[in-house]
Structure 1
Amino acid sequence: MKNKKKRFMFVSASILLLIVAIVFIFVLNSFDPQRKLLKENSNTFINTINSLEPHKDYYLANIIPFEWDSMYVFPEYTDKEDVTKVIGFESNSVQMSSSESMQQIIIVKNKEIICYVQDMDYKLGFSIDRKGEDYLAMKIGEKYKVNVNLKDDFKYLEFTPLN
């Protein structure tokens, strides 16, 4: 009888501890200001791109609605190590994209990722043309024209450097 009671107490305490740990992790993550900023900026960026009118030219500096230093675009299956090498620092936000037609868009300010978008083109509603390059890297001081093309109700963005 004592063993059953001890076992019951042990199982009950374990379950209670697990529940407390899950609640703690959830509460801790919901108050992380960096995670909140990252999510807000990512949603704002996606909405801004989707609001661009087709067959018009824009300037990159004008379509990113928050302060930034660099923007990077990587294709599907890009290793986390390769992304880290290109952006110049490690971040827990970076993941390897694991599906066809998935792209990663990373926007950085002061060596910190402030916008991270990783999804399939058709879910985002747009695709960024890398012009055959392994990745795109653009800096705030560089001027880029952004051309928005529309094909089958899908937006294709093309970045052209201006000299």
Structure 2
Amino acid sequence: MKRKNKTLFNMLIIIVVVVTILLVINPFKKDVWDINADNFRDSFNIISGTTTIDDLSQWGGFEWDVMYSFRPYVSKEKVYEVVGYKWDNINETVNENMNQIVFIKDGKVVCYIYGYPNNTGLEFNFGEYEGDYIKLSSKNRISFNSTFDDNNNFRYFEYINK
């Protein structure tokens, strides 16, 4: 009987330790850049049709200093180099229709939008890239013409270069 009680007690301790570790580490917790990407996408749900976004920094519910949009096929090493550090296991875009957009606040990534518009719900067109990326500051008014694609269920943004 003592042996059985000791085994149950040891199992209870192991369960408590495992649960505590899971609560502290929380492997299911989303990163801030993923949470903000969801908030950014959702912030446009109030728009039902075509409109002009006068200042992108007013949308999304998070603050940012700089936004980078990387042209398709840019290596992840180049993205890390431009951004200034490795923040996640990112992927390279493998198609012309994919977006890779990074928002930075105080040198840290606060929002990361990657993938096909059908998956992200957003598509950005910045026109022709002169290099590997476009860098825009939230201090400037960043404007877009925006339409909603009912067939594919995503919002399309066309950069207005002033």
Instruction: Give the TM-score, by structure 1 length.
Output: 0.69
Does 1:95 find its partner at 2:97?
no
Match of 1:135 among 102, 116, 133: 133
The runs of 5 or more residues in structure 2 that have no matched partner are 1-16
Match runs of 1:1-163 below 5 Å: 28-30=25-27, 36-58=31-53, 59-87=55-83, 89-93=84-88, 95-100=90-95, 101-133=97-129, 134-151=132-149, 153=151, 154-162=154-162
The runs of 5 or more residues in structure 1 that have no matched partner are 1-19
Q: Which moved more, 1:126-135 or 1:109-118?
A: 126-135
- Corresponding pairs, count: 141
Aligned residue identity for 1:142 = N
Aligned residue identity for 2:90 = Q
CA distance in structure 1 between the aligned counterparts of 2:136 and 2:63, rounded to whole angstroms: 14
The Cα shift of 1:26 comes to 8.6
Instruction: Give the TM-score, by structure 2 length.
Output: 0.69
Aligned residue identity for 2:43 = T
Identity %, equivalent residues: 24
CA distance in structure 2 between the aligned counterparts of 1:120 and 1:26, rounded to whole angstroms: 33
More helix by share: 1
The Cα shift of 1:97 comes to 2.2
The Cα shift of 1:31 comes to 8.2
CA distance in structure 1 between the aligned counterparts of 2:87 and 2:120, rounded to whole angstroms: 22
